Structure 1
Amino acid sequence: MGGPPFKVLGTPDLRTPTRYLTWMARTQLSVLLGEAAFSVLGLGMAAVVPYVLGRTIDDGLTAGNASALLAWASALLCAGALQAVGGIYQHRMSILAYCNAAFRTVQLLTRKATELGGALPRQVATGEVVTVGVSDIKWIGAGVEVSSTAIGLLVAFAVVTVALLGMSGLLGLVVLLGTPLLLITISAVIRPLAKRQGLHREQIGQLSRLGVDIATGIRVLRGIGGERSFAERYRLASLKARTAGVHAGRYDATLQAAQVLLPGAFVVLVVWLGGRFVVGDQITPGDLVAMYAYATFLVNPLRAAADLFTSIANALVSARRTIRILSLHPELADPETPRNPPSSGDLVDAGSGFTARAGMFTAVAADVPEAAGRVADRLGRYVDSGVTYGKVPLSDLRLADVRQRILVVDAEAAMFTGPLRDELDPFGEGDTRLKAAITAASADDIVEALPNHLDTEVDGLGRSFSGGQRQRLILARALLFDPDVLVLVDPTSAVDAHTEARIAEQLLSFRSGRTTIVMSTSPALLDRADRVAFLTEAGVVADGTHRELLTSQPQYRALVTKGEV
């Protein structure tokens, strides 16, 4: 496994789509210059071949000059060889430019997603990020790589025009004036096409977002009987996307037809004029052959020019969607002058009155689950607050330092596709520590039941596991990370009582000497905690051991015993 394609991504220009594409081109200027050079060589030689062919006929065959025939035939062979070399390496450089632009954009999107963290789904739908990362990067790559091809096309047109002017001033003027008119006509179709393609992609993005929402919440939908409602919403969104796609397809078909019809008609015009000149003895038979070859040659560059406009138009649409995501800002930022994090210390939330003593197992029992969630967000600095760690405000620390030392794991933590080993041990801590963490999370039976154990492929979001199994595997991953402070929000809410008791005992042993905070109302966990904080909407109203609070706090006793005692 290698590292990322680009170790230094740079700072993209996000002011406009054009500026973004221009910046992307500047990041690989040497590649694009190489592509342009080979494009000039390949297309330039392709434009020279008809001239050499005509001279071979006139100076060699028609004149009966064997030495001239050999010389021009040799020149034709060299021109063809150079054309092949230019075409091969231009294509290789073109693919490299395409991949560079696409993968750099993917890395920029990944960096932005990491920077935004949990704020990403609050600012942009997951489906839109997926659409940009899968579909739009292809057009960005294509838009960047075709820019250098344009130079070769211009050179080829220049060579053909000069050659035809040498044969006939009228033919040269037809090519010189007709080519821009063709491109203008084709570009008139491209503009509405780009607009309709942009609308189509917006509809596809909305459809993707809806699909992700349905796939993520399918269990909830089944529980409340909402499958039909969301299926109807998906059907209507699909119809809108299909309609937008049909409208874009109509313009695309018109463009494809124009790319064939207009250059073809142009070639017919040039050949017709050339034939008249041959009949009038204004040009030689060799010039006629050369002229026909020129006319045929012009078809491909004209189509390539139309494709170039299409690629750029699509790239601008894709770049607009990309910079919309790359322009998002995180809800939290690093301080201008960050402080060094303490090696350890108490974690104190003055807003709620909660304190987690360093090295202790502290539980929080909240009468309202949302209150516990808010405290967890403040302790992990997912919102700005006055929380201190070792008497240092979290707001004075870099976010990366906070994330390294304080890990918050809630019931909605995600699992990803791939081997279970990589899912649980992304940093390669090794099987010894991994198995210890799995045992502490009481997840041995889950791993043993899998067909390939730790090498079993996990599907998207771990949907093949039950709720309790997912909780235990996520807990194992968190334990293996081994942060200074571990905050667990309802880690055993979907686990049976016997398994929960084992987890409580093993968690205390595994995290011995490190700060562990558990948000739960489970008696099995509360009874194992060194201290328990009873949290209400007003804040922490009582603090003590589980047994002390059972005796002194009737409200706490009713909460944790579910009113049974």
Structure 2
Amino acid sequence: MPEKPLPPETSPDRSAIRVLLRLWPYVRPVRARLFTAAIVAIVASCLSLVIPLVLKWMVDGPITDRDPGGVWLGALYLLLLGIAEAVLFGYRRWLVSRPLAGVEARMRSDLYRRLQRLPIAFHDRWASGQLLSRGTTDLMLVRMFLAFPLTFLLVNGVTILAGYVLLLAQDWSLGLVLLTPVVPLVIVCSLFEGRYGVVARRAQDQVGDLTTVVEESVLGIRIVKGFGRHRSQAKAFRELAGQLRGTELVKARLLAMIWAVITVVPELAIGAALVLGTVQVADGDLSAGTLVAFLSTALALRWPVESIGFLLAMSQEAATATERYFEVMDAHEEPETSASSTPADSSDGVRFEGVSFHYPDAPEGSPPVLDGIDLHIRPGETLALVGSTGSGKTTLTALVPRLHEATGGRILLDGEDIALMERERLRTLVSVAFEEPTLFSASVGENVLMGAGAGAGEPELRRALGVAQADGFVDRLPEGTATQVGEQGLSLSGGQRQRLALARAVVGRPRFLVLDDPLSALDVHTEARVEAALREVLRETTALVVAHRPSTVMLADRVALLSQGRITAVGTHQELLRSSEEYAWLMSGEDEGNEHR
């Protein structure tokens, strides 16, 4: 599993408000509807505070005067208030549902776009499950926060403030009794917010780890079954699931504690007010209607007060989700060109001038993967790159399309520095095929034509399939080129996937072609046919081919030997067999299992 670069565990001192304010650019386009929804919710919530006033009027008026008509009128008022409150809350929900779904969609789209633009080094370090959980679970938490806690923290705050004004207006002494819980509740909520934020972050990171295990197990199901590792995989899953369960239980305990405190303390205050109010009614200092209205108002404030813990918990989860989302959004994209360049020679081929490369996360002081590479591939020439395992061949080929950025020196395509070229233009000039072919959940034709321009069609597709000797098995598929290959192309054999990847590389007739051991998964007879067709393609392009076998080397005009990150010999196959012991040894195949590999 790739190591995920997470910041130190969320500090209790970090400001959730400051984190959540980063959502403003996404919320701004729908702010009018959210503001309207908040006003509607405030009006609906405050209607519940009118009910105690109606009750006071009924108790001190029609009920005391034994007026049935007045009682029925009061009941009608209460019914209308209840209906109005329900309609307003329903209208609020309608107001926010559509725009917030749009906010979530925009955030998810921006995240996906950013992931496409982040460098390969970023994806090498991050576990896929962590990225997946940020685009699904985390964004769902953000949407839920915008739909409910964001509004109701304001609504409940206004409702509590208005309610306390009414309480003090009805009887200031009893109102002061109900104000006593405010200070302890503020302290408890502050402590809860910090601790819950830390635990919420831990839980969301663990969800990402769990997602990674599930994804790896599904994608690697053939390995899991083939080696009988289902028990060890299940054990790993249970351990991570157990850790997540433990963290969720800690969250539940914290939430239960804050809910208990927020419920008990106000209830004690209401009980004390009830006793004092009853005494005042008995003494004639307070009317029964006023006491009923006072207690009804206090009870109407129970939910706004008790929900504070729940709303704070959701807000903390949304803050950690926002934090995790912007960890990806804040990552540096692939650097674009810093200046324009003019080709020095329109037909100079490919040049490596003093190229060196360190992986960004390599330990300090470690030797470079590539060190001072000087190499020239002439226009129209095919150069085979040969070296032992770990010598840096794949890394060198990845520098040409700028999948990695060279840390020293420069690479020129027809005299133009690739570091100064726009990536889109560079990648229309350079086509690649990797040793491990990747296919997408799409049709065969769609997978191959990904390597061609917008105007490519059936003729280009058939030509590419012919070059890769893939037309035979493709035509035997149930729907030919329209056949869906399935996730990762696992419905095809390794050789079939590799031939489709090769077809994708050549379909656009690229000016420069980079092939990383493109024939490794082919049988001897298919390899011979592909080589024969590939020779015709290589005559039309400038190519760099990573080779491990003499048959692949024979496709090239010249061979470069890469050893410990340096080019140690360049020449034809026969020249290097005579002049380089290492090359002769590599071509003999005797390095199988040798420690040097």
Quote the offset at 1:327 in angstroms.
Answer: 3.5
1:373-522 alignment runs, 5 A limit: 373-381=394-402, 382-384=404-406, 385-417=409-441, 423-425=447-449, 432=458, 433-444=460-471, 447=474, 459-480=486-507, 483-509=510-536, 513-522=540-549
Q: 1:366 aligns with which of 383, 386, 408?
A: 386
Q: Deviations over 1:346-400 (max 9, x none)?
A: 2222344433444x36241403253432331232232314110121111222334
- Secondary structure in 2 matching 1:386: strand
Which residue is 1:334 aligned to?
336
**RMSD between superposed Cα atoms in Å:** 4.2
Instruction: Say if 2:156 is the partner of 1:132.
Output: no
Q: Deviations over 1:261-287 (max 9, x none)?
A: 555555555555555555555555554
Quote the offset at 1:88 in angstroms.
Answer: 2.1
Quote the offset at 1:84 in angstroms.
Answer: 3.3
Distance in 2 of aligned mates of 1:456 and 1:301: 57
Quote the offset at 1:239 in angstroms.
Answer: 4.3
Q: 1:349 aligns with which of 342, 347, 352?
A: 352
Distance in 1 of aligned mates of 2:16 and 2:463: 50
Quote the offset at 1:80 in angstroms.
Answer: 4.3
Which residue is 2:195 aligned to?
192
8 Å contact kept, 2:388–2:586: no
Q: Deviations over 1:127-163 (max 9, x none)?
A: 3222323322233334444223222112211222222
Quote the offset at 1:113 in angstroms.
Answer: 2.2
- Secondary structure in 1 matching 2:316: helix
Q: 2:305 aligns with which of 295, 302, 307?
A: 302
8 Å contact kept, 1:501–1:525: no
- Secondary structure in 2 matching 1:348: strand
Instruction: Say if 2:35 is the partner of 1:33.
Output: yes
Name the stretch that deviates more: 128-137 or 103-112.
103-112
Question: How many aligned positions are there?
Answer: 545
Please state which structure has a larger fraction of its residues in helix: 1
Using a 3 Å threshold, how does the CA distance of structure 1 residues 449 and 179 change in structure 2: closer, same or farther? farther
Distance in 1 of aligned mates of 2:524 and 2:428: 32
Using a 3 Å threshold, how does the CA distance of structure 1 residues 168 and 125 change in structure 2: closer, same or farther? same
Q: Which amino acid aligns with 1:134?
A: T
Which residue is 1:162 aligned to?
165
Quote the offset at 1:118 in angstroms.
Answer: 1.0
1:30-109 alignment runs, 5 A limit: 30=31, 31-55=33-57, 58=60, 79-80=81-82, 82-96=84-98, 98-99=100-101, 102-109=104-111
Q: 1:115 aligns with which of 117, 120, 130?
A: 117
Instruction: Say if 2:252 is the partner of 1:249.
Output: yes
8 Å contact kept, 1:267–1:298: no
Structure 1 residues not aligned, in runs of 5+: 1-14
Quote the offset at 1:402 in angstroms.
Answer: 2.6
8 Å contact kept, 1:361–1:508: no
Which residue is 2:4 aligned to?
none
8 Å contact kept, 2:341–2:417: no
Quote the offset at 1:512 in angstroms.
Answer: 6.7
Distance in 1 of aligned mates of 2:456 and 2:300: 62
8 Å contact kept, 2:431–2:506: no
Quote the offset at 1:237 in angstroms.
Answer: 4.5
Distance in 2 of aligned mates of 1:162 and 1:526: 87
Q: Which amino acid aligns with 2:433?
A: V
Q: Which amino acid aligns with 1:373?
A: T
Q: Deviations over 1:30-83 (max 9, x none)?
A: 143233222222222233343245435655665578998898777656644543
Distance in 1 of aligned mates of 2:484 and 2:270: 57
- Secondary structure in 2 matching 1:491: coil
- Secondary structure in 1 matching 2:558: strand
Structure 2 residues not aligned, in runs of 5+: 1-13, 355-372, 591-597
Q: Which amino acid aligns with 2:558?
A: V
Q: Deviations over 1:326-357 (max 9, x none)?
A: 33335x62343243789875222234443344
Using a 3 Å threshold, how does the CA distance of structure 1 residues 232 and 167 change in structure 2: closer, same or farther? closer
Distance in 1 of aligned mates of 2:529 and 2:440: 26
Which residue is 1:533 aligned to?
559
Distance in 2 of aligned mates of 1:192 and 1:511: 63
Using a 3 Å threshold, how does the CA distance of structure 1 residues 492 and 42 change in structure 2: closer, same or farther? farther
8 Å contact kept, 2:44–2:89: yes
8 Å contact kept, 1:349–1:386: yes
- Secondary structure in 2 matching 1:248: helix
Distance in 2 of aligned mates of 1:249 and 1:405: 56
Distance in 1 of aligned mates of 2:268 and 2:47: 24
- Secondary structure in 1 matching 2:435: coil
8 Å contact kept, 1:190–1:255: no
8 Å contact kept, 1:126–1:209: yes
8 Å contact kept, 2:129–2:208: yes
Q: Deviations over 1:397-417 (max 9, x none)?
A: 233433343233322354444
TM-score of the pair, normalised by structure 2: 0.75
Quote the offset at 1:28 in angstroms.
Answer: 1.6
Distance in 1 of aligned mates of 2:321 and 2:41: 26
Using a 3 Å threshold, how does the CA distance of structure 1 residues 234 and 79 change in structure 2: closer, same or farther? closer
Using a 3 Å threshold, how does the CA distance of structure 1 residues 373 and 50 change in structure 2: closer, same or farther? same
TM-score of the pair, normalised by structure 1: 0.79
Q: Which amino acid aligns with 1:92?
A: W
Name the stretch that deviates more: 155-164 or 101-110.
101-110
Using a 3 Å threshold, how does the CA distance of structure 1 residues 404 and 19 change in structure 2: closer, same or farther? farther
